[in-house]
């Protein structure tokens, strides 16, 4: 959602050479007051993108979207825990049946205990460090203990999920996020795209900022 939409092909071609994953935000205008990408755009991106796509469903009824994004080429489908707890097992099994990795996302105010009964099924656990809906928001400091708990629980019980962080991942937070236990950082406007109009240069600047932060 943070890309330059007048230059999507060029940015995808550049990031194919540098990034590890693409994170695709889909919002329905109801779960959060914004509308961003769509299953059709996931399919279109797939014509250029050579990296796997983690599709983040910020939607009130994720089961209406799962088949569509899987068919469009999602490698991982990440659904909000706040939207699936009436049918979490059915939802996660459907994602797996479609050949995708299973992800759950926690809003800042949602505790890790909310997903304790199916956390062992997850391939990806995404912790939001800003409220959902808009880029460029302020980092919520209280999320660091949640990240620590997610990583500790994973290591203690041998769970297979990766701890991913979404929101305000930049030079001000890189070190604290990694020290807390983050394994994947989603870089958006402040972390990547605002650094340079040339996304290749922006990515190099982001990596340099990350290395400086980790050495501080």
Please report the pLDDT score of residue 202 as a whole number. 97
What share of the chain has pLDDT > 90, as a percent?
95
CA distance 125 to 52: 16
What's the count of helices (H) and strands (E) in the chain, helices before strands? Answer: 8, 7
Which residues make Cβ contacts (< 8 Å) with residue 97, sequence separation at least 6?
A: none
CATH level 2 (architecture), domain 8-215? Alpha-Beta Barrel (3.20)
Q: What's the pLDDT tens digit per position in 28-71?
A: 999 999 999 999 999 999 999 999 999 999 999 999 999 999 99
CA distance 100 to 178: 26
Please report the pLDDT score of residue 199 as a whole number. 97
Please report the pLDDT score of residue 134 as a whole number. 72
Buried-state track 185-215, b at ≥16 Cβ within 10 A, e below 16? bbbbbbbbbebeeebeebbeebeebbeebee
Task: Note the pTM of the prediction, 2 decimals.
Answer: 0.96
Q: What's the pLDDT tens digit per position in 170-215?
A: 999 999 999 999 999 999 999 999 999 999 999 999 999 999 999 9
Q: Phi, psi at residue 86, to the nearest 5°?
A: -85, -20
pLDDT score of 136 more than 80: no
CA distance 55 to 24: 5
CA distance 192 to 198: 10
Q: What's the pLDDT tens digit per position in 86-135?
A: 999 999 999 999 999 999 999 999 999 999 999 999 999 999 999 997 77
Q: Enumerate the β-bridge partners of residue 25.
A: 56
Catalytically annotated residues: 25, 166
């Amino acid at each position: 959602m943070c890309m330059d939409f007048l230059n999507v092909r060029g940015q995808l071609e550049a990031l194919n050479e540098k990034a590890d994953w693409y994170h695709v935000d889909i919002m329905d205008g109801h779960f959060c007051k914004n509308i961003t990408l769509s299953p059709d755009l996931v399919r279109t991106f797939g014509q250029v993108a050579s990296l796997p796509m983690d599709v983040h469903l910020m939607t009130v009824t994720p089961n209406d979207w799962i088949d569509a994004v899987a068919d469009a080429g999602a490698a991982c489908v990440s659904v909000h825990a706040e939207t699936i707890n009436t049918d979490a097992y059915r939802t996660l099994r459907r994602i797996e049946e479609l050949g995708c990795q299973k992800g759950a996302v926690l809003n800042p105010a949602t505790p890790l205990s909310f997903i304790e009964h199916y956390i062992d099924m997850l391939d990806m656990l995404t912790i939001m460090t800003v409220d959902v809906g808009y880029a460029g928001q302020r980092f919520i400091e209280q999320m660091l203990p949640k990240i620590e708990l997610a990583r500790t629980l994973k290591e203690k019980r041998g769970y297979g999920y990766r701890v991913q962080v979404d929101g305000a991942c930049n030079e001000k937070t890189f070190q604290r996020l990694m020290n807390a236990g983050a394994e994947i950082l989603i870089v958006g406007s402040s972390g990547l795209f605002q650094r340079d109009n040339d996304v290749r240069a922006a990515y190099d600047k982001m990596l340099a900022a990350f290395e400086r932060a980790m050495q501080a």
